[in-house]
Amino acid sequence: MKARVTVTLKAGVLDPQGQAIEGSLKSLGMSGVGGVRQGKVFDLLLDATDESAARAAVTTMCEKLLANTVIENYTIEISN
């Protein structure tokens, strides 16, 4: 199975990288952007064959390695 983990900063956490991107967009002449937040995405190939086992395994991976749960949220999508 495949899993996609999306890790984003929690609301209120400063995102200087996102601010830099917003500034760059403006200096390139692309206006109309009110804010940019950057996050990470992980595409995992899993040996697990059922969805609940896959989701449980990926949740453990997120809690232990992929996300810093103090400042980041994560979402998990499982597909075949």
The site for a second copy (CB under 8 A) is made up of 6, 8, 18, 21, 24-25, 28, 30-48, 57, 60-61, 64-66
Q: Smaller CB distance to a second copy: residue 47 or 70? A: 47
Nearest to 42 by CA among 72, 76, 1: 76
Least separation in angstroms between CB 21 and a second copy? 7
- Scanning the structure block, which residue is given the tokens 């890790």? 7
Least separation in angstroms between CB 70 and a second copy? 18
| Distances 44 to 50, 62, 77 between C-alpha atoms, Å | 15, 12, 10
Least separation in angstroms between CB 35 and a second copy? 4
